[in-house]
Amino acid sequence: MDNRPIGFMDSGVGGLTVVKTAQKLLPNEEIIFIGDEARMPYGPRPTAEVVEFSRQMASFLITKNNIKALVIACNTATNAALAVLQAELPIPVIGVILPGAIAANRQTKNQKIGVIATLGTIKSEAYPKALAEINTKLRAYPVACQEFVEIAEKNELHTTAAQKVMNEKLAEFRQDQIDTLILGCTHFPLLEEGIQAAIGPDVTLVDPGVETVHQLIEILTKQALQHAEGPKAQDQYYSTGNIKNFEEIARTFLNQDLRVEEVKID
Ligand code: DGL
């Protein structure tokens, strides 16, 4: 048993989609989330910079909150910094890309898998590589949709303008006959309805956060790190900026009367 909290980090509100799954599947665990709103988006940034920012966020969670495990609830940061943080930190560190690829491989029937993600994740080819490692028969169809991050951050999920952007971007898949689409940015499950409407009902959306939380459960069980049954401390939310907007999105999406605390990180 280990009653320390689990840390989750992202560039912004996207990581909350992984937190929501964790709160559902791991109700006994205390969660500390930090979003790097002051420096988001991460997608267009150079890899080295994302590595440095990820180090700083992880260090905040470890030194201030004494976390027992870290979930990089961001695909861009997973691609840039997972191996680095796994090597440097004394606690288990888990990312979202491999779990996303595993879930998509399980889901697809025709082996044609679309991937939408940030500029950085698409440029790195992290998903095509992960899919190829799991199953050489899989074909990946990657499309960068950095614009979707802004839609989520502005909380404009259901506007006509947002739907138009989603329709236009996802039209790129029209010829590909994909049957599965990986939401390869943790912001994208916030846009799930619009994405599904744009891509059509025959394509199954995969949220890598779900498989990530299942892998987290496995790690906690194997390493005897689970929180004891019974009462736990309240989950905590931090952001490096944009507090009001962040708090509003978090409250609506997680359906909780939560507070977000501003922190300085550098
Ligand atoms: N939510 C992040 C991801 O999963 C990144 C969004 C951004 O900051 O560009 O990649």
Å from CA of 119 to ligand 1 middle: 9
Å from CA of 230 to ligand 1 middle: 34
pLDDT higher than 90, residue 82: yes
The two tokens of residue 164 are 């138009």
Average pLDDT of the chain? 97
Q: How far is CA 175 from CA 102, 112, 113, 138, 188, in A?
A: 24, 11, 13, 17, 22
Q: How confident is the model at residue 122 (pLDDT cuts 50, 70, 90)?
A: very high
CB of 74 closer than 6 angstroms to any ligand 1 atom: yes
* Edge-to-edge strands, sheet with 139-144: 139-144, 112-117, 180-183, 204-206
Tell which atom from ligand 1 comes closest to the C-alpha of 41: 8
Average pLDDT over residues 102-115: 98
| pLDDT score of 100 | 98
d(CA 242, CA 226): 33
Dihedral sign from CA coordinates of 20, 22, 28, 29: negative
Q: How confident is the model at residue 123 (pLDDT cuts 50, 70, 90)?
A: very high
Tell which atom from ligand 1 comes closest to the C-alpha of 186: 4
| pLDDT score of 230 | 86
* Residue of 187, 206, 212, 242 to mutate, ligand 1, most atoms within 8 A of C-beta: 187
CB of 97 closer than 6 angstroms to any ligand 1 atom: no
> pLDDT tens-digit profile of 218-260?
999 999 999 999 899 999 999 999 999 999 999 999 999 999 9
Å from CA of 41 to ligand 1 middle: 6
Average pLDDT over residues 159-165: 98
Cβ atoms within 10 Å, residue 110:
10
| pLDDT score of 181 | 98
Write phi, then psi, for 2 (nearest 5 degrees).
-150, 115
**Residues labelled as active-site residues:** 74, 185
> pLDDT tens-digit profile of 137-154?
999 999 999 999 999 999
Å from CA of 229 to ligand 1 middle: 34
CB of 54 closer than 6 angstroms to any ligand 1 atom: no
| pLDDT score of 243 | 96
pTM value? 0.98
Q: How confident is the model at residue 266 (pLDDT cuts 50, 70, 90)?
A: confident
Tell which atom from ligand 1 comes closest to the C-alpha of 187: 1
